[in-house]
């Protein structure tokens, strides 16, 4: 049975990914930092699943938890958003933002890669963002971290390709999850007007793309950046 670790699986895109991998018969390691109860609820719906709470930004905790695990696929999904003018961002906000969205990706990848390299097989799928491609006003640190995740994907894909490990990236547009729950109806309507497919994305839209990249059907795809954004950029 193949195994997948999904960070940030307690809700939103991560939860949707967990459900799809579970339906396809994978053993699913479910991670989040805070809402462990939500993972335990999700675990009831996925027969082969294990709850693994840790903070992806905590390198020691990541390595301690993942060291001995056999992970065939890592989905680096955990993330937080930050909407603020660049010069008003506090040190604490900056540390949390890069710690989760960038260093979390590096920490989890470093922890699972030795096993993948030993077995000469595996795949990593990173969840970036359209803002990592275009840059977003008042989301400068978020855009910078997500842009770095794209560059990380491309570079690591080149480095570990000879070990038969694929590394790809998905860039969602505006997805209807808790991350966007603060938007007013007027904000949502204004966004939808800019989206050629005339709707927000669903967590499942992103999860299907992630599953495709993990599957054998994508066996010749690595270093790719797959937009799932309704055509907004
Ligand atoms: P949600 O806010 O719905 O979920 C975020 C998940 O990440 C939760 O499970 C949360 O768990 C987890 N998480 C946050 N910080 C940590 C941490 N330090 N360690 C472990 N887990 C953590 O977000 P989405 O589902 O919308 O977003 C998922 C990914 O997609 C993120 O990387 C986001 O940046 C990206 N994205 C989202 C878009 C959108 O429009 N929604 C657009 C583009 C990209 P808990 O709080 O329970 O610990």
Q: What are the tens digits of pLDDT across the range 5-36?
A: 999 999 999 999 999 999 999 999 999 999 99
Question: How close is the Cα of 11 to the center of ligand 1, in Å?
Answer: 8
Mark whether 142 is an active-site residue.
Answer: yes
Number of Cα atoms under 13 Å in the Cβ half of residue 66: 32
Among candidate residues 8, 11, 119, the one with its CA nearest the CA of residue 69? 119
Q: Which of 79, 132, 141 to mutate to test the pocket of ligand 1 (most atoms within 8 A of CB)?
A: 79
Query: How many whole angstroms from 207 Cα to the centroid of ligand 1?
Result: 13
Q: Could you tell me the residue ranges of all domains in the chain?
A: 3-228
Q: Give residue 227's pLDDT.
A: 98
How far apart (Å, rounded) are the C-alpha atoms in residues 59 and 36? 19
CA–CA distance, 84 with 107 (Å, rounded to integer): 26
State which H helix or E strand residue 106 sits in: helix 104-119
Going by pLDDT thresholds of 50, 70 and 90, the confidence category of residue 172 is very high
Whether 77 is in the pocket of ligand 1, judged by its Cβ within 6 Å, is yes
Give the count of beta carbons closer than 10 Å to the beta carbon of residue 107.
24
For residue 112, the model assigns a pLDDT of 98
Say if ligand 1 is within 6 A of residue 100 CB. Answer: yes
Task: Report the CATH fold assignment for 3-228.
Answer: Rossmann fold (3.40.50)
Q: How far apart are the C-alpha atoms of 29 and 52, rounded to whole Å?
A: 6
Q: Is 62 in the pocket of ligand 1 (CB under 6 A)?
A: no
In this predicted structure, what is the pLDDT of residue 100?
A: 99
> Helix or strand or coil: residue 23?
helix
Measured in Å, residue 222 CA sits from the centre of ligand 1 at 23
Query: Quick one: which atom of ligand 1 is closest to the CA of 100?
Result: 18
Minimum-distance ligand 1 atom for the alpha carbon of 13: 25
Contact 9, 20 (CB under 8 A): no
What's the burial of 231, exposed, middle or buried (CB within 10 Å: 0-12/13-18/19+)?
A: exposed
pTM given for the model? 0.99
First to last CA, the chain: 38
Q: What is the pLDDT of residue 75?
A: 99
Over residues 52-72, the pLDDT tens digits come to 999 999 999 999 999 899 999
| Average pLDDT estimate for 154-171 | 99
Distance 121 CA to ligand 1 centre (A): 27
182 confidence band (pLDDT: 50, 70, 90): very high
Please indicate whether residue 49, judged by its CB atom, sits closer than 6 Å to ligand 1. Answer: no
Residue 175 Cβ contacting ligand 1 at under 6 Å: yes
Q: What is the pLDDT of residue 137?
A: 98
> Which stretches within 120-139 are classed as H helix?
130-134
Give the count of beta carbons closer than 10 Å to the beta carbon of residue 42: 23
Q: What percentage of the chain carries pLDDT values higher than 70? A: 100
Query: If you ran DSSP here, which 8-state letter would residue 103 be given?
Result: I
pLDDT computed for residue 42 by the predictor: 98
If residue 111 lies in a helix (H) or strand (E), which one and from where to where? helix 104-119
Cβ neighbour number for residue 164 with a 10 Å cutoff = 15
pLDDT for res 168: 99
pLDDT tens-digit readout, 94-146:
999 999 999 999 999 999 999 999 999 999 999 999 999 999 999 999 999 99
Q: Is the CB of 13 under 6 A from ligand 1?
A: yes
The predicted pLDDT at position 60 comes to 98
Q: Quick check: CB of 97 below 6 Å from ligand 1?
A: no
**Mutate which of 59, 172, 179 to test ligand 1's pocket (most atoms within 8 Å of Cβ)?**
179
Average pLDDT, the chain: 98
Task: Choose, from 29, 142, 211, 220, the residue flagged as catalytic.
Answer: 142
């Amino acid at each position: 049975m193949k195994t997948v670790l999904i960070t940030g699986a307690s809700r939103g895109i991560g939860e949707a990914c967990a459900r799809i991998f579970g339906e396809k018969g994978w053993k699913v390691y479910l991670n989040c930092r805070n809402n462990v109860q939500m993972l335990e609820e999700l675990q009831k719906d996925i027969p082969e699943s294990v709850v693994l709470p840790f903070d992806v930004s905590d390198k020691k905790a990541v390595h301690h938890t993942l060291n001995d695990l056999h992970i065939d696929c890592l989905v680096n999904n955990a993330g937080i958003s930050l909407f603020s003018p660049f010069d008003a961002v506090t040190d604490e906000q900056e540390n949390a933002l890069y710690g989760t969205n960038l260093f979390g990706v590096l920490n989890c990848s470093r922890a699972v890669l030795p096993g993948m390299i030993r077995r000469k097989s595996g795949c990593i799928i990173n969840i970036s963002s359209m803002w990592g491609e275009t840059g977003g006003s008042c989301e400068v640190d978020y855009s910078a971290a997500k842009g770095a995740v794209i560059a990380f994907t491309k570079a690591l894909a080149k480095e570990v390709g000879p070990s038969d490990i694929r590394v790809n990236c998905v860039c969602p547009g505006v997805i209807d999850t808790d991350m966007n729950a603060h938007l007013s109806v007027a904000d949502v309507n204004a966004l939808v007007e800019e989206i050629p497919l005339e709707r927000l994305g669903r967590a499942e839209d992103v999860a299907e793309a992630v599953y495709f990249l993990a599957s054998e059907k994508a066996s010749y795809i690595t270093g790719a950046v797959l937009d799932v954004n309704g055509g907004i950029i």
